[in-house]
């Protein structure tokens, strides 16, 4: 029978893979697979549409290499795979092939003729492939990102190697449209290729404060995402000549306009960087100006929003050096902000400013981080083949290799939960994790939630409550200023009690929390609103209002001459009026509204022009 050309080619690919697999019998896996072998097999699989066979081949090759080292110690049995260029590339190929569906690969290979040569290039380069895999976040669309990266790669043959990180960062950001802000008339979007060309050209002309060819993509996303036309970036390069470490000065370059803050005065017509600098603005304008001019000069930066004792505020964070971020510029310490929030340019999700601590963690740039990533991908192979025990061993080795590798810890803890791990093991693992992340309150809070969930699954309600109380004490002692984390703990505690139908205990938690943390006005506003809503449902508004009003009188009536602090107190007074209104106590409500009006008159007379 005469076979088609395609069928004969496909069978040839399979035969070559079998030959590669069997060649090493009686030898080590290292001798059985060379980098040239792997690249050739990869190209043949791409040409012949045999990626499923190729996935099986590379995974089996990796597993055989690990199996051959089973007699070695736990610390070294994975070294062959972790340190061998061909085997570690095979491992990364496996992770990619499992993250993209066969239909997506087929579409990418057909897309404009760029897909096949791009994938051959990417799948032959371990560093680039690993950079892609470690930059991905939950919710990302890997196939779409690869498609965009392929387009930039095809359009820049001369710079595709040097500026691969820049191209990948653009693909990570522009998988969703980047809208020019503020919108004027019909919505406009930033063009991905133009943005890539802008920063590539600026780098070639040495106009940037950083080397964008060396910054990792997970930091460059905070550069290329600027929601402004390239003309704005060009203006910033020409007119804001600060040193990178001193970019904090850009915030104060914008004169603060109290008339806009207090009266809503419209002072900008075009809202360009030039106009903001010339006319001034409020905190948000200062943060916007500092952030956009930093990005224009190749410095990763983000606008941060938060709420403190004086209400809402905006400041900014930027990467001040190769190893550190500065997130304190414009963040008034007296306002006691628990955290700042930003929009992640890659996922469009709201994140906390503490995310940058992980970006600047020294482990993120260490070779051990890459090795831990490889062990995480190895665990993925085992899990895909229904082998949870070796998967858990690989993840345990990963967190031992790099103790603050968050994705490895997430996978490891998830595996322990699925395996119904005994309490003693949970306790030991969580103690280790807490020790490693002792300087990272957000991760400690996450570990607390993991512990609580494990206890809930075990049905040990008493231990859950003890755990939550213990976590609350530690949070208050170790990071009392992080009231956002304290609130999260309180809400976990309340949810558990509500699920058990213990309404009286829920009320006590609210009351105790208001007593302990009510001096923080943001916490008071949140807890008071939640407690009153609960009280209305249970018919216990008198008890709730007595407690809420007592804390309000203590916390929200402190003498101050600051306009913003007075305005915050007035908003809380309006909130209290709303509570009494809802409870049918109109006289009290009216008196509180009159009090809020008087506060605003006092605030208007207390303008602070130096904020």
Task: Determine the pLDDT at residue 610.
Answer: 40
pLDDT, tens only, 368-399:
999 999 999 999 999 999 999 999 999 999 99
Helix (H, G, I), strand (E, B) or coil at 419: coil
Other beta carbons within 10 angstroms of residue 530's beta carbon come to 17
Comparing 69 with 575, the larger pLDDT belongs to: 575
| pLDDT greater than 60 at residue 14 | no
Task: Determine the pLDDT at residue 70.
Answer: 80
- Average pLDDT for residues 113-120, to the nearest whole number? 90
- Average pLDDT for residues 250-271, to the nearest whole number? 89
Other beta carbons within 10 angstroms of residue 48's beta carbon come to 20
| pLDDT greater than 50 at residue 11 | no
Query: How buried is 243 (Cβ within 10 angstroms: 0-12 exposed, 13-18 middle, 19+ buried)?
Result: exposed
Residue 57 near residue 93, CB atoms below 8 Å: no
Residue among 302, 413, 446, 348 at smallest CA distance from 139: 348
Return the percentage of the chain with pLDDT > 70, whole number.
91
Residue 62 near residue 91, CB atoms below 8 Å: yes
| pLDDT greater than 80 at residue 611 | no
CATH topology assigned to domain 226-356: C8orf32 fold (3.10.620)
Task: Determine the pLDDT at residue 86.
Answer: 95
| pLDDT greater than 50 at residue 570 | yes
| Full-model pTM | 0.90
In 480-540, which ranges are continuous DSSP H helix?
A: 483-499, 503-517, 521-538
Task: Determine the pLDDT at residue 489.
Answer: 86
CATH code 3.10.620 region(s) in the chain:
226-356
Task: Determine the pLDDT at residue 111.
Answer: 62
Task: Determine the pLDDT at residue 379.
Answer: 97
Comparing 33 with 589, the larger pLDDT belongs to: 589
pLDDT, tens only, 128-185:
999 999 999 998 999 999 999 999 999 999 999 999 999 999 999 999 999 998 756 6
C-alpha angle 497-502-503 in degrees, rounded to nearest 5 = 100
Task: Determine the pLDDT at residue 465.
Answer: 75
- Average pLDDT for residues 231-249, to the nearest whole number? 96
Query: How buried is 272 (Cβ within 10 angstroms: 0-12 exposed, 13-18 middle, 19+ buried)?
Result: middle
Strand partners, 308: 311
pLDDT range class, residue 460, cuts 50, 70, 90: low
Task: Determine the pLDDT at residue 9.
Answer: 37
Helix (H, G, I), strand (E, B) or coil at 557: coil
- Average pLDDT for residues 248-259, to the nearest whole number? 95
Mean pLDDT, rounded, of the chain: 88
Q: What are phi and psi of 234, to 5 degrees?
A: -60, -45
Q: Which helix (H) or strand (E) holds 315?
A: strand 311-319
| pLDDT greater than 90 at residue 421 | no
Task: Determine the pLDDT at residue 358.
Answer: 85
- Average pLDDT for residues 246-275, to the nearest whole number? 91
- Average pLDDT for residues 463-472, to the nearest whole number? 76
Residue among 296, 297, 284, 166 at smallest CA distance from 232: 296
Residue among 115, 68, 104, 71 at smallest CA distance from 87: 68
pLDDT, tens only, 295-345:
999 999 999 999 998 899 999 999 999 989 999 899 988 888 889 999 999
- Average pLDDT for residues 196-220, to the nearest whole number? 97
Other beta carbons within 10 angstroms of residue 127's beta carbon come to 12
**What totals of helices (H) and strands (E) does the chain contain, helices first?**
31, 5
Structure token digits, residue 281: 């603005």
- Average pLDDT for residues 264-276, to the nearest whole number? 90
Residue among 437, 384, 367 at smallest CA distance from 394: 384
Q: Which helix (H) or strand (E) holds 303?
A: strand 301-308
pLDDT range class, residue 422, cuts 50, 70, 90: confident
| pLDDT greater than 80 at residue 225 | yes
Task: Determine the pLDDT at residue 453.
Answer: 80
Q: How far apart are CA 418 and CA 300, in angstroms?
A: 38
| pLDDT greater than 70 at residue 202 | yes
| pLDDT greater than 60 at residue 278 | yes
| pLDDT greater than 70 at residue 263 | yes
């Amino acid at each position: 029978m005469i076979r088609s050309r395609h069928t004969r080619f496909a069978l040839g690919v399979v035969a070559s893979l079998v030959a590669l697999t069997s060649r090493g019998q009686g030898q080590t896996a290292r001798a059985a697979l060379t980098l040239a072998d792997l690249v050739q097999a990869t190209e043949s699989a791409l040409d012949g549409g045999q990626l499923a066979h190729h996935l099986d081949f590379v995974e089996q090759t990796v597993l055989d290499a690990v199996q051959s080292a089973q007699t070695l110690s736990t610390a070294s049995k994975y070294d062959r795979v972790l340190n061998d260029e061909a085997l570690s590339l095979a491992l990364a190929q496996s992770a990619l092939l499992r993250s993209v569906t066969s239909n997506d690969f087929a579409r990418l290979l057909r897309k404009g003729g760029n897909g096949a040569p791009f994938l051959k290039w990417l799948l032959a380069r371990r560093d680039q492939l690993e950079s892609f895999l470690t930059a991905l976040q939950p919710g990302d669309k890997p196939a779409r990102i690869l498609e965009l990266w392929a387009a930039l790669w095809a359009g820049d043959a001369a710079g595709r190697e040097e500026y691969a990180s820049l191209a990948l960062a653009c693909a990570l950001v522009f998988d969703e449209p980047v809208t020019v802000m503020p919108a004027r008339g019909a919505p406009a979007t930033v063009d991905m290729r133009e943005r890539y060309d802008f920063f590539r050209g600026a780098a070639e002309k040495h106009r940037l404060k950083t080397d964008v060819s060396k910054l990792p993509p997970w930091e460059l996303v905070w550069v290329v995402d600027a929601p402004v036309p390239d003309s704005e970036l060009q203006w910033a390069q020409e007119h804001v000549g600060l040193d990178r470490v001193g970019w904090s000065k850009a915030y104060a370059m914008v004169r603060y306009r109290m008339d806009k803050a207090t009266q809503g005065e419209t002072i900008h017509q075009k809202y360009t960087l030039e106009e903001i600098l010339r006319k001034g603005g409020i905190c948000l304008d200062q943060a916007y100006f500092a952030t956009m001019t930093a990005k224009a000069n190749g410095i990763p930066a983000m606008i941060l929003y938060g709420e403190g004792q004086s209400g809402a505020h905006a400041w900014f964070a930027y990467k001040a050096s190769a190893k550190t971020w500065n997130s304190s510029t414009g963040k008034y310490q007296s306002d006691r902000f628990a955290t700042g929030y930003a929009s992640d340019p890659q996922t469009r999700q709201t994140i906390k400013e503490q995310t940058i601590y992980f970006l600047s963690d020294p482990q993120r740039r260490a070779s051990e981080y890459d090795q831990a990533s490889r062990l995480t991908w190895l665990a993925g192979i085992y899990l895909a083949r229904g082998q949870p025990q070796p998967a858990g061993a690989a993840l345990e080795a990963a967190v031992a290799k790099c103790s603050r590798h968050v994705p490895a810890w997430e996978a490891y803890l998830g595996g322990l939960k699925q395996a119904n791990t005994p309490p003693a093991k949970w306790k030991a693992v969580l103690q280790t994790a807490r020790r490693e992340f002792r300087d990272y309150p957000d991760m400690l809070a996450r570990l607390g939630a993991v512990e609580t969930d494990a206890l809930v699954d075990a049905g040990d309600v008493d231990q859950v409550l003890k755990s939550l109380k213990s976590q609350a004490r530690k949070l208050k002692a170790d990071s009392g200023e992080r009231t956002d984390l304290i609130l999260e703990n309180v809400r976990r505690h309340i949810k558990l009690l509500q699920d058990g139908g213990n309404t009286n205990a829920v009320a006590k938690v609210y009351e105790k929390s208001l007593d302990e943390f009510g001096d923080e006005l943001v916490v008071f506003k949140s807890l008071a609103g939640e407690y009153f809503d609960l009280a209305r449902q249970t018919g216990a508004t008198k008890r709730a209002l007595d407690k809420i009003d007592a804390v309000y009188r203590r916390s929200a009536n402190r003498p101050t001459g600051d306009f913003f602090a007075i305005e915050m107190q007035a908003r809380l007074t309006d909130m209290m009026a709303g509570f009494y209104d809802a409870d049918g106590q109109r006289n009290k409500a009216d008196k509180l509204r009159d009090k809020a009006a008087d506060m605003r008159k006092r605030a208007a007379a207390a303008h602070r022009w130096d904020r």
